Amino acid sequence: MVSILYIFFTNALALLIPWILKIVIDSIENFPESTNLLKYSLFLIGIAAVQGVFRFYMRKILVGTSREIEYSIRTDFFSHLQKLDSSFFTNTRTGSIMALMTNDLEAVRNFLGPGLLNLFNTIFVFVTTLTVMFLINVKLSLYSLIAFPILPLLVNKLGNMLHQRFKKSQEQYAVLSAKTQESIAGIKVIKSFTQEENEKSTFSELNMEYLKRNLSLARVRGAFWPSMIFVGGIGTLVVLLVGGRQVINGTLTIGQFVQFSAYIGSITWPLISVGWVINLVQRGSVSMGRINNIFRIKPEVTSPKKQPHVKTLKGNISFDHIFFRYELNKNTARLIKANFIDFKDTSFIDDKNNWILKDISFDIEAGMQVGIVGFTGSGKSTIANLIPRLYDPQKGEILIDGLNIKSYSLEVLRLNIGYVSQEPFLFSKSIKENILFGKEEYLSNLGEIGTMREIIEVSKISHLHEDVMQFPKRYETLIGERGVTLSGGQKQRLAIARALLSHPGILILDDSFSSVDTNTEELIFEDLKKNITGITTIIISHRISTIKNSDLIIVIDDGKINAIGKHVELLRKSGIYQSLYHKQQLSEELEEEV
Amino acid sequence: MTEGFYEKDLLEKQIDKKIAFKLFGYIKPYRFLLGLTIFLLLLTAGLEILGPYLVKIAIDRYITPGKFEGLVYVVVLYGLVILFEFIIQYFQVYFTEYMGQKIMYDMRMNIFAHINKMPMSFFDKNPTGRIMTRVTTDVQTLNEMLSSGTVTLFGDVFMIMGITVMMLSLNWKLSLITFSVLILLAIATFIFRSKVRIAFRIIRAKISNINSFLHEAISGINTAKIFNRQEENDKDFKILNRQYLDIYLKTIFYYAVFFPVVILISTMAIALIIWYGGQKVIQNYLTLGTLVAFIQYIEKFFHPISDLSEKFGIFQEAIAASERIFKLLEQKPSIISPASPVKVREIKGNIKFDRVWFAYNNRNYVLKDISFKLETGRSIAFVGATGSGKTSIINLLNRFYDIQKGKIFLDDIDIKRFDLQDLRKHIGVVMQDVFLFSGTILDNIRLGNKDISFDEVIKASKYVNAHKFIERLPGKYDYEVKERGQTLSVGQRQLIAFARALVFNPEILLVLDEATSSIDSLTKIMKNRTTIIIAHRLSTIKNVDKIIVLSHGRIVEEGTHKKLLKLKGIYHKLYRFQYQLQS
């Protein structure tokens, strides 16, 4: 509100300058001897100085506010993103989401800052200047505004065209980006089938289409600015003709004539900026719409309102006729589609029986070690994903300690599950921060030394400690692009340490030993067993040796349970288990032999 | 917050000569268009300067003396001026945009083509997102500078020059007084720019921090969920976001000070003219019209100056973007076709590895002293544990990577003497993780090669047993594959890869055999082709002519199935073991 006052005063003071010019000129014309030129000059400077102060605040507040708003949208958006379901992220690309938070947010901010500033400014300049003009000479004012009524028509018509064409250009940009991304991701296929030329020509077509759409946008945009200047020019032209005639007739002083010309000049610039503002408004509103679409997506995997008073889980797990497929709810799919035109929602096209997991049931008692085996793509990892509720199954129930997992709060559930994924995601932080990831609050009562002791303890269990001590900066060593590159095995061991830090009741190891050689694997395993007795451990693995001694082994094939039992039993019962065992024996034999 | 990873790149981003020179290379094809645009700009500036002069003439010659007919004449002239200005400006804006878009098109094509030439090691080192940014966002940013930037620069400079000339010719004394204020303006601009330049450098670093954080947070979202890290992430993000806001508020302050100062200085110029010029008018040394024209010129004079300052940030961004682009384009692809490749009409398909040593980086050899021969139409299988180096073999024959020592021959010609495209045309690859492109099944099999007919695709699909499942898909061969083929099973994807390899009908086949793939289909496509197969199961191995057992990058046993069994070594042990299990 204060900012509007600033805008008002800035513009009101701006009106004074032509007014003083008028007085000076009339005075020079009529009373050349008694004109105090110095006084008027100082007046002008004084007004400009005061106006400068107002202008300073106007700009600072308005543009500053737009940055503050940008800040809060960005913060809220990120916070909202983190709440969204995993299925949202499997259906969108990181790049597209990033684009929302950079390009689109920028467009919104430009509209809110410079856009609104100019919009208000234009309105005030118009209202105040016109008022003063009418006060001086109604007839001349009316004449000089003769061309202005076409403005709203022009703005409306061209604005619509701009909007349409801008949207088309943005859409093509998204297509072009997607193509680029795919070409890079599939470069190996492209190279080995020597499809570079074809790729180039496809890219060239999309690129050309983008060029065409941009030029079609340019044809309208090119007309916008000059036509605003033209309308303003007509105003000056009329003042020259009608005002000049009035001066000749003696109904207008030469000073007033100059004043009028100055006013027409001062409403021409805001007029010109209208075109620019319209552009910003168009972009801003399209972008705000896109951002809002994401805000409208409601996460489905959420904590219940009423939660049992449980802090720790013992680790009895039951799957009760679980059916699952990766599926988006209709509303979410619609909102994603509205934003990313290259998004293809296939979950509804496929036939209804296209389940990833079909009728999975099993019971695990607390403290058991359970192995899950099966071929790639059989659904093993999906089972692991369901336990910490990364996804919720469509049919059936998952129970932990006799309660549906949906009745626990997400925090409690996940804090009690140590999860080591196939390709552990590590962050560009120090080793210490990576192990501590997410437990900062949880361990804060231990203090710096206590926390470090815990970190070292879990690192020893996972056999990471020896490696860490080799680094000059030890646990403070940065990993990622700017730090050291960890080997696959080191990454997996770090991920295991990270999962153990909260002393979870359930530990899920999703193929976590694939980059660790068999010897190290056995070492880690021995230590794990020694140190984590009583923890329910679910091990998903390709290697039978890893899970051979489990209390229970579940064989998954094509989303269904093929067999459940112990090693010896399964060797007899399950053909799949047998063939997996053979395959692994082959490579193990070779490894041992050399 | 760890600072180490985030970009601390606070280097001066001045437009250096090298970049300017390279940018000019892109503008060059459109130099006539650029010339035309600049000419139009010159005209616009001229017309705009003519306006106040016409007003001056109107006042001095017609309004003050009271001659209405003459006034009409001036008004008509004025009307023509603004009409021409309108038309010329339209074309100027359009041509500018046209040029900018054309240059962006060229640039994107160049970068894209360049990326396609880069060897596989380039893609190992650079994440997809980063490469993508060069083609998309960076080019977009650069456009701002190339099109509107350069043109505005020319336009504004012309304007300032034109007005200077006009003012001097009207009254040189009055002009000099006006220009005296310019010293103040120069000082103000200098201070402003140096402050803002530093601020923009920090801003760039901060926004880059935000983006890296975001990218990581989104990519690792599931980890954050499982580890309950949302709140901490929020806090971390808020800090980065806040730093960015604070530095931006600082630049807003600079701008908020600068613009009023420019206006104050321009008002001072007007005040000086009134004070000095007013006296001259009173003394009849100056006409009233000239005084009015001067005042109007001053307003037009200061506009381009603030305009240029407003665009300052855009320029800084664009320079940074162009630096990144040219840095990518400068990287020469390390694996290229020879200057004069051998011309071979037909490839027979015999392969020879002669004491080959290979490492992905430095001296860390994954293949050591590998030699073997493979006759036309024969097949060879590599067996070995994970990490034995067997997968790397596949990457060498088609020169995805170049070897460090030794030689590889195809039809007794060193593969480095072939044109890369020629070489790869004869080698089909069936990979472990089958990459499918978004598009139809048909497109995925023939990969945009329109020379391959639909019938050929169906024939190939039938041959490898893919036809059946494709027929069952909604839309059949027109079934849209979602990104990376997530909706198809691994087995189905592999069958598509087989069909793909078959339809291109290569003389040589490289196969990464997986337990999940269909043996029948695999045996079928191996028929009459020189095949190198990286085997994971014995059933595949039994079908090949020769077997090589690898361990830690070295060949430890080789020979036919029979010979290896007789050897009673590793292979024998393996086979016996498997046989026992199967019976």
pLDDT digits over A242-268, tens only?
888 888 888 888 888 878 887 887 777
Query: In this complex, which of A186, A441, A482 lies closest to B435 when CB atoms are compared?
Result: A186
Query: In this complex, which of A192, A417, A586 lies closest to B538 when CB atoms are compared?
Result: A586
Tokens 């005296």 correspond to what residue? B180
pLDDT at B70 over 60: yes
Task: Answer left, alpha or beta for residue A374, where phi above 0 means left and psi between -120 and 50 means alpha.
Answer: left
pLDDT digits over B241-265, tens only?
888 888 888 888 888 888 888 888 8
The per-residue pLDDT string of chain A (594 residues; one tens digit each, 9 = 90 and over) reads 677 788 778 877 877 877 888 888 778 777 777 767 888 888 888 888 888 888 888 888 878 888 888 888 888 888 888 888 887 887 777 777 877 887 788 888 888 877 877 787 788 888 888 888 888 888 888 888 887 778 778 777 887 888 788 888 878 887 888 788 778 777 777 777 777 788 888 888 888 998 899 889 888 888 877 887 788 788 888 888 888 888 888 888 888 887 888 788 777 777 767 767 777 887 788 888 888 888 888 888 888 888 778 788 888 888 888 888 877 777 777 787 777 765 655 544 445 567 888 888 888 888 888 888 877 667 788 888 888 888 888 888 898 888 888 888 888 888 888 888 777 777 777 888 888 887 777 777 777 787 888 888 888 888 888 888 877 778 888 776 555 667 667 777 888 888 888 788 888 888 777 666 666 677 777 777 777 777 888 888 777 777 788 888 888 888 888 888 888 888 888 777 887 777 666 656 555 544
Inter-chain contact A52–B263, Cβ cutoff 8 Å? yes
Instruction: Give which of B314, B44, B299 is closest to B158, Cα–Cα.
Output: B44
Q: How far is CA B119 from the centre of its chain?
A: 16
Instruction: Give which of A143, A227, A221, A269 is closest to B83, Cα–Cα.
Output: A227
What's the whole-number mean pLDDT along residues B162-188? 84
Tokens 């007509």 correspond to what residue? A234
Domains of chain A: 2-167+224-296 (1.20.1560.10), 359-593 (3.40.50.300)
Q: If DSSP codes are grouped into helix, strand and coil, which group holds residue A538?
A: strand
d(CA B523, CA A591): 27
Instruction: Give which of A265, A165, A268 is closest to A222, Cα–Cα.
Output: A165
Per-residue confidence (pLDDT) for residue A176, from 0 to 100: 84
Which DSSP state fits B161? H
What's the whole-number mean pLDDT along residues B118-137? 77
Structure tokens given for B104: 């962006």
pLDDT digits over B572-583, tens only?
776 666 555 444
Which DSSP state fits B482? P
CB under 8 Å to B364, separation ≥6 — which residues? none
Put simply, the chain B residues between 387 and 416 with a CB less than 8 A from any chain A CB are 388, 398, 400
d(CA B142, CA B541): 55
Q: How far is CA A561 from CA A323, A399, A564, A579, in A?
A: 12, 18, 7, 16
Task: Answer left, alpha or beta for residue B349, where phi above 0 means left and psi between -120 and 50 means alpha.
Answer: left
Query: In this complex, which of A70, A98, A419 lies closest to B211 when CB atoms are compared?
Result: A98
Which chain A residues are within 8 Å of B577, Cβ to Cβ?
585-586, 589
Query: In this complex, which of B98, B438, B582 lies closest to A218 when CB atoms are compared?
Result: B98
Inter-chain contact B241–A102, Cβ cutoff 8 Å? no
Which chain A residues are within 8 Å of B212, Cβ to Cβ?
428
Per-residue confidence (pLDDT) for residue A317, from 0 to 100: 87
Cβ-Cβ pairs closer than 8 A, A with B, add up to 435
Query: In this complex, which of B78, B101, B259 lies closest to A215 when CB atoms are compared?
Result: B101
Cβ contacts of B358-361, under 8 Å, gap ≥ 24? B358/B392, B358/B396, B358/B401, B358/B403, B358/B404, B359/B404, B360/B121, B360/B124, B360/B392, B360/B401
Amino acid identity for residue B369 in this structure:
D
Which chain A residue has the Cα nearest residue B116? A196
Tokens 């056995």 correspond to what residue? A522
d(CA B387, CA B331): 31
Inter-chain contact A586–B275, Cβ cutoff 8 Å? no
Task: Considering only residues B534 and B353, tell me which one the structure prediction assigns the higher pLDDT.
Answer: B353
Inter-chain contact A417–B82, Cβ cutoff 8 Å? no
pLDDT at B478 over 50: yes
Inter-chain contact A192–B229, Cβ cutoff 8 Å? no
Q: What are phi and psi of A553, to 5 degrees?
A: -125, 130
Per-residue confidence (pLDDT) for residue B8, from 0 to 100: 39
3-state per-residue secondary structure call for A297-360:
CCCCCCCCCCCCCCCCCCCCEEEEEEEECCCCCHHHHHHHHHHCCCCCCCCCCCCCCCCCEEEE
d(CA A101, CA A79): 12
B263 shares contact with chain A (CB less than 8 Å): yes
Are A391 and A385 within 8 A, CB to CB? yes
Per-residue confidence (pLDDT) for residue B338, from 0 to 100: 84
d(CA A388, CA A405): 8
* Helix (H) or strand (E) segment spanning residue B382: strand B379-384
Which chain B residues are within 8 Å of A421, Cβ to Cβ?
222-223
- Mean predicted lDDT score pLDDT of chain B: 80
Instruction: Give which of A415, A418, A438, A408 is closest to A303, Cα–Cα.
Output: A408
Query: In this complex, which of A199, A346, A428 lies closest to B5 when CB atoms are compared?
Result: A428
Inter-chain contact B578–A350, Cβ cutoff 8 Å? no
Which chain A residue has the Cα nearest residue B553? A594
Inter-chain contact B549–A215, Cβ cutoff 8 Å? no
CB burial of A169-183 (b: ≥16 within 10 Å; e: otherwise) equals: bbebbbebbbbbbbb
Lowest mean pLDDT among A302-306, A495-499, B432-436, B528-532: B432-436
In terms of Cβ atoms closer than 10 Å to its own Cβ (0-12, 13-18, 19+), residue A97 is buried
Q: How far is CA B20 from the centre of its chain?
A: 19
B242 shares contact with chain A (CB less than 8 Å): yes
User: pTM to 2 decimals?
Assistant: 0.71
pLDDT at B331 over 80: yes
pLDDT at B36 over 50: yes
Q: What are phi and psi of A321, to 5 degrees?
A: 45, 60
Per-residue confidence (pLDDT) for residue A209, from 0 to 100: 92
Instruction: Give which of B123, B126, B117, B125 is closest to B333, Cα–Cα.
Output: B117
Which DSSP state fits A445? G
Lowest mean pLDDT among A2-6, A457-461, B184-188, B285-289: A2-6
How confident is residue B2, by pLDDT bands cut at 50, 70 and 90? Answer: very low
Which chain A residues are within 8 Å of B361, Cβ to Cβ?
none
Which DSSP state fits B479? P
Are A273 and A154 within 8 A, CB to CB? no
d(CA A527, CA A513): 14
Instruction: Give which of A517, A494, A497 is closest to A507, Cα–Cα.
Output: A497
pLDDT digits over B505-516, tens only?
888 888 876 655
Per-residue confidence (pLDDT) for residue B190, from 0 to 100: 84
Inter-chain contact B487–A346, Cβ cutoff 8 Å? yes
CB under 8 Å to A67, separation ≥6 — which residues? A109, A113, B245, B248, B249, B252
Structure tokens given for B296: 């109007």
How far is the alpha carbon of A292 from chain B, nearest alpha carbon, in Å? Answer: 18
Q: Give the other-Cβ count within 10 Å of A535's Cβ.
A: 21
Inter-chain contact A81–B221, Cβ cutoff 8 Å? yes
Amino acid identity for residue B459 in this structure:
K
Listed in sequence order, the DSSP H helices in A356-464 are 380-386, 410-415, 431-436, 447-461
pLDDT digits over B334-382, tens only?
888 888 888 887 888 888 999 989 887 766 788 888 888 888 888 888 8
Amino acid identity for residue A516 in this structure:
V
Per-residue confidence (pLDDT) for residue B7, from 0 to 100: 39
The tally of CA atoms less than 13 A away on the side-chain side of residue A222 is 20
How confident is residue B432, by pLDDT bands cut at 50, 70 and 90? Answer: low
3-state per-residue secondary structure call for B25-91:
HHHHHHHHHHHHHHHHHHHHHHHHHHHHHHHHHHHHHHHCCCCHHHHHHHHHHHHHHHHHHHHHHHH
Tokens 């070594």 correspond to what residue? B569
d(CA A280, CA A116): 9
Q: Which of A57, A86, A590, A591 to mutate to test the interface with B (most CBs of B within 10 A)?
A: A590
Per-residue confidence (pLDDT) for residue A435, from 0 to 100: 86
d(CA A312, CA A227): 71
Per-residue confidence (pLDDT) for residue A132, from 0 to 100: 84
Q: How far is CA A565 from CA A371, A534, A541, A574, in A?
A: 10, 20, 16, 10
Q: How far is CA B319 from CA B16, B106, B322, B433, in A?
A: 9, 18, 5, 40
Are B102 and A219 within 8 A, CB to CB? no
Query: In this complex, which of A101, A244, A421 lies closest to B58 when CB atoms are compared?
Result: A244
Per-residue confidence (pLDDT) for residue B583, from 0 to 100: 43
d(CA A332, CA A86): 12
Which chain A residues are within 8 Å of B486, Cβ to Cβ?
326
Q: Give the other-Cβ count within 10 Å of A485's Cβ.
A: 9
Per-residue confidence (pLDDT) for residue B1, from 0 to 100: 34
Bridge partners, residue A371, by sequence: A539, A553
* Helix (H) or strand (E) segment spanning residue B344: none
pLDDT at B169 over 80: yes
Lowest mean pLDDT among B95-109, B204-218, B473-487: B473-487
Instruction: Give which of A327, A487, A531, A546 is closest to B486, Cα–Cα.
Output: A327
